[in-house]
Amino acid sequence: MFRIIGIEKHSAQMNMAIDYALYESVLKGASPPVIRFYKWEHGGVSIGKGQSPGIVNLKNCSDDRVGFVRRQTGGNALFHNGEDFTYSVIAPNIIFNGISGTDNAKAQVNIPAYKEICSWIIAAIEKIGLKAYLHGSNNVMVDGKKIAGSAQYNGGRVFLQHGSIFFSDKTGLWARYLNFPPEKMKDIIGINALIKANPSVLYQALIGSFSSNAIVKSAGPDKLSLDELRRAHDLVASEYSEEKFFGSGSERKGDVCAVDFERNI
C-alpha cells in the first residue's frame, strides 16, 4: 500500500524539507511508501546537493520572490515554474529492484526505479495526447526536447526520487533565475508549448499512472502526519536554510537540468 499525498503548494525550503521528512518516516518504518505531488510558491530554484550556488541569479530571485534551495538529491539546477508539477516517490529499494542495502550505507542510484517512475510520467503525458519517451535513465523527452527531469538520493535501504514535469510554456524564465547561456534553453520545453493542456487533466493523468502500474498495486489518499509536519519545519531551519544553500565553497560548478540528458545516465 502506497500513501498518495495530493498536490500542495509550499516554499522551496518547505518542499524539500517535506520530502526528506517523508524519507525519514519511511526509513523508520513509520510510513509505507509515499507518492507526493506538489508545486512551488512563487516558483523556485533548486540546485543539486553538491552543486555551486553560483549558477543561481540571486538578485532576480530576490526581486521576484522566487525561493531557492539545495536539494538532498544530486543532479543540476532547475527552475520550478509555479505552473509546473513536481513529484516525489519514497520507497524501499527492494520494491523496485530486489536489492536492499543497509540503513546507513549510501547506495548507488537505483536505475530500475528511475526508469520505472519515468515510465509513469510517460504514460500520463501520453494520456493527454503527446508522444513521450525515455532518454538515458531519468529524462523524459518529447520531439527531442526534455519535458521532465528527475534526481535521486539513495540512502541504502530506502531511496527518495523527485522530479519536475515542465508544464509552463514560459521556459524563457529559466534564464532569468539561472546563470547559463540562453542557447541551452533549446534543450527543454513545456507541455503547454506543444499542446494546450488543461493542468487538472494532466494532474489526474499523473495520479492515475502513479497509483496503478507494475509496482503500485494499491494506493490511497493521505496527508502529512503531525510528526512529519513538525519534522519538516525543523528541517527548514536546520538543513534547508540559506546558510546551507551557500555550501562550503568546494562544490562543483555543475550545469542546468536542461542538458542533463547529454550525460546519458
What's the number of CA atoms in the CB half-sphere (13 Å) around residue 65? 6
Is residue 69 within 8 Å of 44, Cβ to Cβ? yes
What are the structural domains of the chain?
A: 2-255 (3.30.930.10)
pLDDT tens-digit readout, 124-168:
999 999 999 999 989 999 999 999 999 999 998 999 999 999 999
Q: How far apart are CA 187 and CA 124, in angstroms?
A: 21
Give the residue-averaged pLDDT of 64-75.
Answer: 94
Q: 140 phi and psi, to 5 degrees?
A: -95, 130
Quote the pTM value: 0.92
Q: Which amino acid is at 25?
A: S
pLDDT tens-digit readout, 179-197:
987 777 788 999 999 999 8
Element (H, E) at 85: strand 85-92
Q: How far apart are CA 192 and CA 83, in angstroms?
A: 10
